[in-house]
């Protein structure tokens, strides 16, 4: 990925994190099911967590790794987790963002514990691709668990299906492969991805709403997070973002994107708490109020993250 594409993807990750989790996890008179606009925003934002793992995989592939790097990564994750969990228990109004969840932390610890194996695979292209294809086949588990909820062995919650997050992480690593990068930048591939994105979303919408409608409601939208369509969508978005070229005000747009993209992890951690605090100051009395609060949440989370990142000590609690 080029710098513009990467910044677009990271910024998109920030925005979808805010829209998905502030709508989906907030119960009020204007909750997820109140209006089709909220449902639509939630639906198109289901790429938030997958994008985070893709970005993490890509960024990790850009540096040299040794045992010290590996331990530093694990230490950073534990520091972030323990700090915000402590804040959560000591300060009642604080609400945990989904980054501060045991499954999220566990997934990254497993990934970085296995990183020597991942790095070994990354130098063997065909074997690496074979592993990714094998992980893609694991979506059969998701399908079976949706169709057969009575089988205990298939009852593992979607967020704990670690193979899913490993798949997105390895996909991010794959995007740094020279051959893949060359393919990503091909004009026909980029245009094809841009053309396909709305159709992938449309197919997923009908698939979820009509074929799996009952499960969609019963499982609180969890199945869509790990659906194979989301994987295809994320890949298409990365390819499309990599082909974006600004023609006017390039420097300004690049600067804005680069600034927001640096706050990605901070926004993932802070946005739900920020939204919760804003709702105590601005009661939600209409759909317009809630949409305004979502925008304010995004802006406030970005600004707070920028402030924290400016301090060499504090930035450790929003950086992994």
Q: Is the pLDDT of residue 56 over 80?
A: yes
Quick one: pLDDT at residue 309? 94
Using pLDDT thresholds of 50, 70 and 90, give the confidence band for residue 304: very high
For residue 25, what pLDDT is reported? 55
Question: What does the mean pLDDT of the chain come to?
Answer: 82
Q: How confident is the model at residue 156 (pLDDT cuts 50, 70, 90)?
A: confident
pLDDT on residue 214: 46
Structural domains in the chain (count)? 1
Q: Which domain holds residue 286?
A: 3-318
Higher-pLDDT residue of 248 and 33 is: 248
Q: How far apart are CA 36 and CA 250, in angstroms?
A: 35
The confidence band for 225, taking pLDDT boundaries of 50, 70 and 90, is very low
pTM: 0.87
CB neighbours of residue 70 within 10 Å: 16
Between 287 and 57, the higher pLDDT residue: 57
Q: Is the pLDDT of residue 23 over 80?
A: no
Quick one: what percent of the chain has pLDDT higher than 70? 86
User: What is the pLDDT, as a whole number, of residue 273?
Assistant: 84
pLDDT band of 98, cuts 50, 70, 90: low
Flag the least confident range among 21-25, 45-49, 150-154, 305-309: 21-25
pLDDT, tens digit (0-9, with 9 covering 90-100), for 250-276: 888 888 998 999 999 999 888 888 888
Tokens read off for 47 = 């790429």
Q: What is the pLDDT of residue 224?
A: 45
């Amino acid at each position: 990925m080029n710098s513009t594409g990467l910044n677009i993807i990271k910024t998109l990750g920030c925005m979808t994190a805010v829209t998905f989790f502030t709508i989906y996890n907030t119960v009020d008179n204007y909750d997820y099911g109140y209006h089709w606009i909220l449902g639509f925003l939630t639906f198109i934002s289901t790429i938030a967590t997958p994008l985070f793992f893709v970005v993490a995989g890509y960024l990790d592939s850009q540096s040299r790794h040794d045992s010290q790097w590996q331990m530093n990564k694990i230490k950073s994750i534990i520091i972030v987790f323990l700090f915000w969990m402590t804040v959560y228990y000591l300060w009642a109004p604080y609400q945990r963002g989904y980054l501060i969840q045991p499954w999220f932390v566990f997934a990254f610890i497993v990934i970085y514990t296995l990183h020597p194996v991942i790095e070994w695979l990354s130098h063997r292209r065909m074997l690496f691709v074979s592993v990714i294809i094998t992980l893609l086949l694991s979506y059969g588990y998701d399908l079976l668990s949706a169709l057969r909820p009575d089988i205990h062995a298939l009852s593992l919650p979607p967020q704990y299906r670690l193979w899913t997050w490993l798949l997105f992480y390895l996909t991010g690593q794959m995007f740094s492969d020279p051959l893949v990068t060359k393919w990503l930048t091909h004009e026909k591939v980029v245009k094809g991805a841009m053309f396909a994105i709305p159709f992938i979303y449309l197919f997923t919408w009908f698939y979820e709403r009509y074929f799996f409608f009952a499960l969609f409601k019963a499982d609180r939208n969890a199945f869509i997070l790990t659906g194979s369509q989301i994987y295809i969508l994320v890949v298409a978005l990365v390819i499309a973002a990599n082909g974006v070229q600004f023609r006017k005000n390039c420097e300004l747009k690049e600067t804005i994107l680069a600034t927001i993209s640096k706050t990605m992890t901070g926004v993932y951690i802070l946005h739900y708490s920020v939204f919760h605090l804003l709702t105590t100051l601005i009661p939600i009395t209409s759909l317009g109020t809630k949409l305004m609060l979502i925008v304010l949440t995004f802006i406030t989370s970005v600004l707070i993250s920028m402030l924290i990142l400016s301090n060499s000590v504090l930035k450790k609690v929003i950086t992994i």
